[in-house]
Chains A and B, each alone.
Chain A
Amino acid sequence: MISDSEHWGELQRLFELAEGVPTEERERLLTELCSDAGLRSRVLAILRAAERSPSGMTAEGVRIGPYPILKLIGSGGVGTVYLAERALAGTTQLVALKVLAPHATGFGFPERFEREQQILAGLDHPNITRLIDAGLSDSGQAYLVTEYVEGQHLDRYCEEHRLSVDERLALFEQVCLAVDYAHRNLVIHLDLKPSNTLVADGGKVKLLDFGTAKLLQADGSLTSTIMATPAYASPEQLRREALTTASDIYSLGVILHELVVGQRPPREQPVTIPKTLPSDLSTMILKCLAELPGERYASVNALAGDVARYREGRPILAHPQTTFYQVKKFVKRNRGKVWAAILLAVALGGALGYAWWAQSRALRNAQRAIRMQAFLYRLFKNANPNVAGKPEPTVKEFLEKSAEVLPLYLKDPDDLRQAQLSLALSLYWNQDFAPAKRLYETALQSARRAQDRAGEAEALGNLANIAFFEGNNAEAKERIDKSFALATRPEVPVDLRLLITQKYVLINGDLGGRSGELKQALEKAVNEARAGDVNPADIAESLNYLGGLELNSSNVDAAEKDYSDGLSFYQRDPLSECDQSLTELGLAAVRREQNRPKEAVALLQKSYATGLKCWGPTPYTQNHQARLADALVAAGKVDEGVAMLEKAKPAWSQPPVNRSVVFANLKYLANAYFEAGRFSDAEGVSREAFELFGKELPAGNKRLAGVHLVWARALGGLGRWADALPHAEIADRVLGEIAVTPLQKTNAATARELLKTVRAKLKS
């Protein structure tokens, strides 16, 4: 056998030449042209093969089973349909005969066919073409015989008769009722499309091709090996997944869209509907076309019900199904950005507590909060017809409304929980604590159900914040302890763990927890965060905390290191200006403790200017300025310091008033007056400060001791030694106990000296 490929070109050329001459001459010609006998015989063989005629086939008298075939009507997805005749007691009836392709029926066909026969024969509905007969032809082809309906395809019919939307919907309702009937008889059509829905004369709808439908299995689902027309097939059909009645609903959605819009909807999800369509119609269509079967109408009956309602001008039952992918994409959980560095306040003045920094952080994040709120607002406004078109709600109203409607838009429990946590945050930043708390509680339950430890820890942490803010210390401690315990689990992300540790340290620290242990916990979290992929700003925040803790324990050098570290992290984040100013503030406090007031002044000048820019004039900014003034005084610029404080003082008593802040500021002012030699003013301000807090704090309180010192010094300056004595004694006793840092040592020494002086003066 010669290899054709080697002589391919020649073969073809010889073929063509020989083909042109009559058969009897070919051999001679080839012999002339080609000396290779093998090649010649190949050419001849090919020529003969080329000229074979197909076997004759005729089409007379074709029958399938007992039914004479008249003509071809059309080909469907799973078979060909013929017009046939049926002999009926003397007359003949026209029937539609559908031959099912072998590949369309799969394995186990004969048994299923019989079962189908029975079920389909049982479908007796005016809008469904009735099954008359079924059988197997001689050649083994299965066929179904149904009543023959002359009519037009639904879409053609609507076009040609120029039907109004209402008239089209009327027809569509008929289709739905027929499909619903079938579903109730456990039959899913699986190939619904306009060409399967005929409209006969008189406007009566007839559903075809139920012969290709499948029976529901006992578990309510089935997989089909037959493929429907792709344009009308549901996503799960295309993916060959389990099918339910929802697949028919999808197809009905496509048909409905086609009827009212004029063309089929595009395939992509989420489905977009032309805006010109009335929103109820859109809603209905969308509810049929949802990607997930579970999100569509639960039954065709429900769909038919809404169609009827719409036609009657009544509201439909379906909720708007606008998808919320935008939320998923953009709503970020600002885990690390909510609370932090509150302990800094504790370190910086002792008088200022958790609440102060809570506020300032809230303000710091105000910009972010506002942006988020604005974004959510836009989204909800567009998505929620109840809000759109009404007068602008307040942010508070909007946020609260959002909390209400959120479950309507987000069906997935994890998405919903995420969004709830973020929304609760916004409420919190907006100081709307009650709804925030409610939302956090909801999110907490949801997280527990879903075993979402991270979500649970976050919700608990924020609830602890709120409780603390409201003054429920016991509840705050309980929640934050729980949150902290959860946060130690490995499935909780590092950044969240860091944040929760901060809160834990904060709350427990403020409630008198053991600072050694707390410090260790936070150090551990910070080190882990350094190694992990945590935002540098978050790490710096924690370092702020640690610095504050160290400062609180008078570990000045350790505090210095933490703050400097923090600054270097902030340098990596260009947007951290505001946060950075807090670290500078902390570092300034360190310098002050180190008796390096000049450096403190530099840091405070910078950070105060930034603070003012970031947060505007608030009690905390006032305190910031007061510290600057105090540092100026300590650095020798007494007059400047005094002037600054005097100028600022009137604002301290304007709301919002923070007593702790005012207390601290007054202390600075008293000191400044003393250094300036204005003893009587110093005495007056000391008294003012004492009256703010003195009754509440125990006598041995550290903060109070500072007041006693300046008071004693002022009284001494005024020569009122007897009055000065009690204050000097308290100051000496208390300040002498905690003389660790250079500044504390200085103060303790000052107190000691003063007491000696006072006693001496009183003896004489």
Chain B
Amino acid sequence: MGQAGDITILLRDWSEGDESALDPLFELIYPQLRQIAASLMRRERPGHVLQPTGVVNEFYLKLVQQERLQVEDRAHFLSVAARFMRRILVDQARKNGTRKRDGGRPVVLTDDLSWFSEAAGPEMIDVDLALDELRGIDERKCRILELRYFLGCTNEETAELLGLSKATVDRDLKFAKGWVQDRLSPE
């Protein structure tokens, strides 16, 4: 993410009302989001395919349409991006119906986001609910989780974004992931 300066400037311009900043902003963010999509697809499991680039475009457009998201800086922006991903996935999951897959095995969050394809239905909704609960208890952990498991940010990136030490992110992430997964299917 070597273009931090550009993004910040664009974000500031955009939040000050310069609509033309949105396109270059999107272009800067887009490759990262595309990488996520690509990494998803590397699993090459065309069965339950969700199209992240479709998701990203929808996100971009929602951004454009909503116009006045409270975006102050890049960190916030990416968190918002992550939250968008989340919402879109949930919306999609709702459309995909109520049938649970594979005999009800719980979803496991994976670093490479291949878990998306496992959570095409009500599983995603469960994830969503669990995250909401998490946010109510510990907002920072929720953001870390979202950045990791919805955008695929590395721990270094997340640490930089949120102004934390990598060690903190490592620790928080592990715990939060465990907590959420436990929520998804308590023993």
List residues of A whose CB falls within 8 A of some B CB.
4-5, 8, 11-12, 15-16, 19, 45-55, 57, 59, 62, 64, 69, 72, 75-80, 82, 99, 101-104, 137, 139, 141, 227, 229-231, 238, 264, 266-268
Contacts of A75 in B (CB 8 A): 34, 37-38, 41, 51-53
* Cβ 8 A contact of A46, one of B38, B46, B57, B179: B179
Contacts of A229 in B (CB 8 A): 57
Indicate whether B1 reaches chain A with its CB closer than 8 angstroms: no
Q: Quote the shortest CB–CB distance from B138 to chain A (angstroms).
A: 6
* Cβ 8 A contact of A54, one of B34, B50, B118: B118
Contacts of B34 in A (CB 8 A): 75
- Which one of B48, B172, B181 has the highest number of Cβ atoms from chain A below 10 Å of its Cβ? B181
Chain A residue at minimum C-beta to C-beta distance from B186: A45
Compute how far the CA of A67 lies from the CA of B30 in the bound complex, rounded to whole angstroms. 31
Contact A52 B181, beta carbon cutoff 8 Å: yes
Known: A16-B171, A75-B41. A101 touches B114 (CB 8 A): no
Q: Quote the shortest CB–CB distance from A60 to chain B (angstroms).
A: 9
Contacts of A79 in B (CB 8 A): 51, 54
Contact B95 A103, beta carbon cutoff 8 Å: yes
Q: Quote the shortest CB–CB distance from A74 to chain B (angstroms).
A: 8
8 closest cross-chain pairs (CB), A and B: A50-B178, A49-B182, A101-B51, A49-B181, A59-B44, A54-B108, A46-B178, A5-B137
Indicate whether B5 reaches chain A with its CB closer than 8 angstroms: no
* Cβ 8 A contact of B20, one of A53, A104, A268: A268
Compute how far the CA of A139 lies from the CA of B120 in the bound complex, rounded to whole angstroms. 12
Q: Among B58-66, B69-77, B78-86, B150-158, which stretch is in contact with chain A?
A: B58-66
Q: Quote the shortest CB–CB distance from B78 to chain A (angstroms).
A: 18
Known: A76-B53, A103-B51. A57 touches B41 (CB 8 A): no
Selected A-B contacts with CB under 8 Å, 13 pairs: A16-B171, A45-B186, A48-B187, A49-B184, A57-B43, A62-B44, A64-B46, A75-B37, A103-B92, A227-B57, A230-B23, A230-B26, A268-B20
Indicate whether B47 reaches chain A with its CB closer than 8 angstroms: yes
Chain A residue at minimum C-beta to C-beta distance from B91: A103
Contact A72 B44, beta carbon cutoff 8 Å: yes
Contacts of B137 in A (CB 8 A): 4-5, 8
Compute how far the CA of A52 lies from the CA of B58 in the bound complex, rounded to whole angstroms. 32
Compute how far the CA of A57 lies from the CA of B110 in the bound complex, rounded to whole angstroms. 12
Other than the given A12-B171, A72-B44, 19 more pairs (CB < 8 A) read A5-B136, A5-B137, A15-B178, A16-B171, A49-B179, A57-B45, A75-B52, A77-B57, A78-B51, A101-B51, A103-B92, A141-B49, A227-B57, A230-B64, A231-B23, A231-B26, A267-B19, A267-B20, A267-B23
Indicate whether B174 reaches chain A with its CB closer than 8 angstroms: yes
* Cβ 8 A contact of B175, one of A16, A78, A227, A266: A16
Contacts of B122 in A (CB 8 A): none
Compute how far the CA of A15 lies from the CA of B110 in the bound complex, rounded to whole angstroms. 20
Compute how far the CA of A293 lies from the CA of B50 in the bound complex, rounded to whole angstroms. 33
Compute how far the CA of A230 lies from the CA of B41 in the bound complex, rounded to whole angstroms. 22
Contacts of B106 in A (CB 8 A): 52
Contacts of A231 in B (CB 8 A): 23, 26-27
Indicate whether B165 reaches chain A with its CB closer than 8 angstroms: no
Chain A residue at minimum C-beta to C-beta distance from B34: A75
List residues of B whose CB falls within 8 A of some A CB.
19-20, 22-23, 26-27, 34, 37-38, 41-54, 57-58, 60-61, 64, 92, 95-96, 102, 105-106, 108, 110, 114-115, 118, 136-138, 171-172, 174-175, 177-187
Compute how far the CA of A12 lies from the CA of B118 in the bound complex, rounded to whole angstroms. 28
Chain B residue at minimum C-beta to C-beta distance from A104: B54
Q: Quote the shortest CB–CB distance from A506 to chain B (angstroms).
A: 50
Compute how far the CA of A230 lies from the CA of B59 in the bound complex, rounded to whole angstroms. 11
Contacts of A80 in B (CB 8 A): 41, 46, 49, 51
Contact B43 A266, beta carbon cutoff 8 Å: no
- Which one of A4, A19, A48 has the highest number of Cβ atoms from chain B below 10 Å of its Cβ? A4
Contacts of B53 in A (CB 8 A): 75-77
Compute how far the CA of A266 lies from the CA of B19 in the bound complex, rounded to whole angstroms. 10
Contacts of B175 in A (CB 8 A): 11-12, 15-16, 46, 50
Contact B64 A19, beta carbon cutoff 8 Å: no
Contact A101 B54, beta carbon cutoff 8 Å: yes
Q: Quote the shortest CB–CB distance from B100 to chain A (angstroms).
A: 13
Contact B51 A104, beta carbon cutoff 8 Å: yes
Contacts of B172 in A (CB 8 A): 12
Contact B182 A46, beta carbon cutoff 8 Å: yes
Contact B46 A19, beta carbon cutoff 8 Å: no
Compute how far the CA of A76 lies from the CA of B37 in the bound complex, rounded to whole angstroms. 11
Contact A55 B58, beta carbon cutoff 8 Å: no
Contact A52 B108, beta carbon cutoff 8 Å: yes
Contact A50 B102, beta carbon cutoff 8 Å: no
Contact B102 A55, beta carbon cutoff 8 Å: yes
- Which one of A4, A62, A230, A238 has the highest number of Cβ atoms from chain B below 10 Å of its Cβ? A230
Contacts of A137 in B (CB 8 A): 46-47
* Cβ 8 A contact of B177, one of A5, A11, A50: A50
